[in-house]
Amino acid sequence: MRFRDALAHPGLAAIAEIKRRSPSAGDLRPAANPGELAREFERAGAAAVSVLVDERFAGSVEDLRTARAAASLPLLAKGFFREPDELAELKRSGADAVLLLLRDLDDDLTARLMAAARDLELDALVEAHDAAELERAVALGADPIGVNARDLSTFAIDRSAQLDLVALAPGDRVVIAESGIESRAQAAAAELAGADAVLVGSALMRAPDPAAKLHELIDRPLVKICGLTREEDVAVAAEAGADLAGFILARESPRRAAHVLPVPETMLSVAVFVGERHDAGSDLAQLYEREDGHRGRDAVLLRGDEPVAQVLDLPWQEGDPGHHAHAAARDGRIVLAGRLGPENVRAAIAEVQPWAVDASSQLELAPGIKDHDRIRAFVEAVRS
């Protein structure tokens, strides 16, 4: 399968990167074996593997050959390439795609390298770091396009700027969010901004078990703990491994929070509204219609003004024996809600296969006061 095509399937794909060191972080995994890692990443669900072939990263073309001999998934060769002859050698060594850095290449040379890659049946991943480079990549017809959160001059990471650029990329191109992704929530943020894939290197190379870390980043469903009102409950949800923290701001809710509380980088905050919404400083918003003085049944999850998922809930203070079957029949990203707890969430996941699960009332000692043991049990049940 071609590199681009491997990333174009529904859901978030992952490119696992093999690099022994980084100019910004120093040694990461000096003894890394590219063959063993490529094989493990393939088993863990990677859509492709990136191999650093530049000596500044303690890499070489031989690493590419070793990875090719061990795994069948597409391989991206990463380096600082300027000559068509370099691309030909990479192709012979097993590459399916090559990286082209717009920071180091003018449009004419980029176009010539893209043409050389096409002739060699290589995909060219054209990488942008700012809005001007993204505009250039689009004008050059690049597909896939990489958006790097790391400024290669200062090595600083700006995830917010990266997400804004991902959201600006044309929807008909495969877009890859690169660098700065260390948690499942950060990967989900890139997905919701419009990324088809994430490229992860340092976080994997630092992990005791790189393949397990890769699986963690792309594992679904996500876990949302909603109805949070206290910092200590947010801390327990984060420690337990929840990905989304929900803060209900609707005036009629007994679980109403005064405001959106701070969350760690391993979580995304979600402000929950009924009827009307305002800027609450959250990463995402969840909006229900108001019906007869209370929330409607279902909601929409929003990134800015863009709908990114459907929240499928039970009717207000009612049950529905067909709720899970109804949810399973819906297309797109589904956030499943409605009296979920540690006892029933596994069966719900098996039936619905949702993108995320959302629990609130079943994890409480009282409205807005969470039971820490039940939060931990709920997350453990989802992950088991």
Which residues are designated catalytic? 17, 19, 78, 127, 148, 178-179
At CB < 8 A and 24+ separation, what contacts does 208-211 make? 210/16, 210/29, 210/37, 210/40, 210/41, 211/37, 211/40, 211/41, 211/43, 211/44
Residues 289 and 374: their CA atoms lie apart, in Å, by: 29
Answer left, alpha or beta for residue 368, where phi above 0 means left and psi between -120 and 50 means alpha: left
91-109 burial: b if 16+ Cβ within 10 Å, else e: bebbbbbbbbbbeebeeee
Q: Are 245 and 268 in contact (CB under 8 A)?
A: yes
Q: In the 8-state DSSP scheme, what is residue 338? A: S
**What are the Cα distances from residue 380, in Å, to 42, 133, 242?**
25, 43, 10
Pick from 82, 134, 131: which is nearest to 108 by CA?
82
Contacts of 298 (CB under 8 A, 6+ apart): 288, 310, 311, 312, 313
Pick from 23, 121, 4: which is nearest to 79 by CA?
23
Strand duo 306-312 + 294-303: pairing:
antiparallel
Q: Return the SS3 of 331.
A: coil
Q: For the residues of 103-152, what is the DSSP string, one character each?
A: TT--HHHHHHHHHHHHHTT-EEEEEESSHHHHHHHHHTT-SSEEEESB-T
Contacts of 79 (CB under 8 A, 6+ apart): 52, 53, 54, 59, 86, 99
